[in-house]
Structures are given as structure tokens and as C-alpha cells.
Amino acid sequence: MPYQVDYLPKMPRDKSIGIGCIGSGFIMADCHLVAYRNAGFHPVAIAARNIERTREVAARHGIENAYADYREMLDNSNVEIVDIAVPPDIQLEVIREIANRPNRIRGILAQKPLGVNYAQALEIVELCERAGLKLAVNQNMRYDQSVRGLKSLLNQNAFGKPVLATIDMRAIPHWMPWQERQGWVTMRIMSIHHLDTFRYWFGDPVRVFASVRTDPRTEQHFEHRDGICLYILEYEDGLRAAAWDDVWAGPALEGAASDSYIRWRVEGIEGMAKGTIGWPDYPKPTPSTLDYTTIKQGPIWQQPRWSEVWFPDAFVGTMAQLLCALEDNTEPEINGRDNLKTMALIDAAYRSAQEHRAVSIDEIANDPKLVSRL
């Protein structure tokens, strides 16, 4: 018999907790709020600087209260959870404001990356801990259906000891204006999904070796160094995981044919799995896929399928993890402390690319210059 493939998130019993949303851009308007309404969650307020757009988003999603200033929204007594979708260099300021207020706000869902680097992420985590706030991070690829389905198979030891895992991305994302002031293109925007997914599947690697170059298309618009990114993760038990994040993906926007995709593959001693991520086809709803085979079941491919898609359905899971943590008095699945290791891995990859050497997560996490002074 096939293994059980669990690809859906755990849902809270109580969906009535009031959610206050900060930000009215694409990720909030077309992903978070669509997912929340589909799941029966309860957004009660939204705030963003462009009040006309904020009111339009509020009307579209049936949200009663719209604000131009998020501080005003925090005074709304119906807001118990704050969902933050602002650029990473603004996150710390927003979370500090929430943490310094009376303890009516119970939890925060923060967009990834959690701040601009590991040091800032650590400050955010400690601010929330001192204020008694449950902090969940929106690493939403963990709730992509194929990623979560594979994790359930790994939990059942379907493939025996993992040997090699790869992710191959050839896709051209839509860049946000705030990336220009950071000088970021790929590592903290797209690679963070894949690095966090490897951590989700297999735990923490010992070290990373990364090599990057500029994206020929983006370098015409702003200076950056992390355009096309390649990296290898080394695990203590011998597992190797690697990804190539190619946001150039050929001159498809310049007149050539397009060949965009995200594919992954995991090989173990007793079986293997392969899959695709449907996101490059957005807004066309394209479910991700998962195929797997094991020596226990013989030379056949099992091919479970579903109708859900990464964007927007995975965003049900990122909010559900926080709601479940609040009602069960546990930590969210992707809590702030856990996400610090992803942020350390990202910083280690940047350092590796700059210094042309392998860098361990501990080298970042134990750097005395990053010790919080809170």
C-alpha cells in the first residue's frame, strides 16, 4: 500500500481571533487575505500608507476597518494578532512598536526574511520573547503541498537514509522596489525559501558553500551581487543538498522562448521522490506535484495529486500555525527561534560567496558581534 501523504496544515479549532494586517501590497491583498477568507479566518483591520489602496483592499476582502497608520490599527481592541507584510528593513521598527505596547496583542506573523540579517532577526526574536508575544515567521514554502507531502514521507522513513537532495529553479520573479535600496536580488528573497525547505526536510546542515553572480537583466537597473545563486549544504551524516537559483532563466523577456520551472528531487538508500513547484505559472492555478518510489513497493511511481496551489493556499498554513500555537499554548511550527537558524544559514551563504569558502551556521550564530544587548 502507498504511504500516507499528508500535505495539508493543521487547522485551529477557533478561527474567530481578530487579525490586524499591516501592508496592502500583492502578498497581503492577493495571497494572505484570499487564503484567510477561504479558510474562515477573521481579519478585522488593515493598515498601510496608501490609504486609497488600503480601503480598496479592505472593501475587496470585507474588512471593516482601514487605517493609514498601523499604530492606529494597534489601538483597535478587536486586533489580537498582527500580520506584518512590510519590507524587511521596516519590520524591526513595526515589531518594536508592538512589543512596547500593553500586552493585548497576543501574536505576530512576520514576513520572511525576518529583518535584514541574523543580528536584526535575533533582536526581533528577543523583543517578542520579552513582551510575551508568540512570533511565527511566514516561510510559506514549507506549506507548499509537495514540500509538505515530502516531509510526511520523510517522517515515515519511506526512503531510508537520505543521500542527495536538489532544487533547480529557472524562473523570473517580479522584483519589488525596496530590493533596490537593499541591493538584494535572490538570496534573501528566493533562496531563503529553498534553504529553509532543506532545513525543514532534513534539519540543520553543518556548513554551506555558495557561489553567486549578478543577474544580467537586473544589473541594468540596480547594483547587486546575488543574482544567480548556487550553493551546497553539507550534513554531518553525509547527506548533500544543493540548489541553483537562476533568476535570469535565459533571455525570455528579451525575445527568446521561455522555459521556467522549479523542480526538486530527493534520493535515499531505499527510495526517491521528485516534484515540481507550480508557482512559476502564477496567476494560472498550477498545483505542485510529488512522485515517489521505494524498493518496498517495487518499480512503480506513486503519484498523489491535489487541487490546492502554493499561491495562495499555502498562506492558510502560515497563519494556522500561529492560531494553533495560541490556542494550545505551544510554539508555532515556524517560530522565531527556529527561523534564526534559517537567517544564520542565509548570512553564512553570503559570507561564503564573498570569501570563497565554506561557512558554518555556528560561525554566524556564535559571532560575538551579533550578541543582543536587549
88-135 tens-digit pLDDT: 999 999 999 999 988 889 999 999 999 999 999 999 999 999 999 999
Residues 217 and 83 in one domain: no
- Of 292, 309, 326, the last residue of a domain is 309
Q: What is the pLDDT of residue 373?
A: 37
Tell me: pLDDT of 223 over 60: yes
Tell me: pLDDT of 182 over 50: yes
Q: What is the pLDDT of residue 374?
A: 32
Tell me: pLDDT of 194 over 90: yes
Q: What is the pLDDT of residue 103?
A: 81
Q: Max alpha carbon distance in the chain (Å)?
A: 61
Q: Please give the average per-residue pLDDT across 27-45, as a whole number.
A: 98
- Domain membership of residue 340 (yes or no) is no
Q: What is the pLDDT of residue 1?
A: 55
Residues 135 and 171 in one domain: no
- Domain membership of residue 171 (yes or no) is yes
Q: Please give the average per-residue pLDDT across 332-359, as a whole number.
A: 98
Residues 164 and 305 in one domain: yes
Q: How many angstroms separate the CA atoms of 115 and 282, rounded? A: 26
- Domain membership of residue 51 (yes or no) is yes
Residues 321 and 273 in one domain: no
- Domain membership of residue 185 (yes or no) is yes
Q: How many angstroms separate the CA atoms of 134 and 95, rounded? A: 12
Give the bridge partners for 81, in sequence order: 19, 107
Q: How confident is the model at residue 367 (pLDDT cuts 50, 70, 90)?
A: confident
Residues 198 and 290 in one domain: yes
CATH label of the domain that carries residue 296: 3.30.360.10
Residues 157 and 226 in one domain: yes
Q: What is the pLDDT of residue 372?
A: 42
DSSP string for residues in 188-232: IIIIHHHHHHHHHHH---SEEEEEEE--TTGGGTS--S-SEEEEE
Tell me: pLDDT of 143 over 90: yes
CB 320 within 8 A of CB 35: no
CB 180 within 8 A of CB 221: yes
Tell me: pLDDT of 227 over 80: yes
CB 184 within 8 A of CB 224: yes
User: Tens of pLDDT along 275-296?
Assistant: 999 999 999 999 999 999 999 9
Count of domains forming the chain = 2
Q: What is the pLDDT of residue 370?
A: 60
Q: How confident is the model at residue 175 (pLDDT cuts 50, 70, 90)?
A: confident
Residues 55 and 120 in one domain: yes
Q: What is the pLDDT of residue 122?
A: 97
What percent of the chain is predicted at pLDDT more than 90? 95
- Domain membership of residue 357 (yes or no) is no
Residues 102 and 236 in one domain: no
What percent of the chain is predicted at pLDDT more than 70? 98
CATH label of the domain that carries residue 73: 3.40.50.720
Residues 211 and 230 in one domain: yes
pTM: 0.96
Q: How confident is the model at residue 188 (pLDDT cuts 50, 70, 90)?
A: very high
Q: What is the pLDDT of residue 298?
A: 94
User: Tens of pLDDT along 53-74?
Assistant: 999 999 999 999 999 999 999 9
- Domain membership of residue 351 (yes or no) is no
When the pLDDT of each residue in the chain is averaged and rounded to a whole number, the result is 96
Residues 236 and 171 in one domain: yes
Residues 68 and 99 in one domain: yes
- Domain membership of residue 65 (yes or no) is yes
Q: How many angstroms separate the CA atoms of 32 and 314, rounded? A: 9
- Of 271, 293, 309, the last residue of a domain is 309
Q: What is the pLDDT of residue 167?
A: 98
Tell me: pLDDT of 2 over 80: no
Domain range for 290 = 143-309
- Domain membership of residue 255 (yes or no) is yes
CB 111 within 8 A of CB 83: no
Residues 195 and 294 in one domain: yes
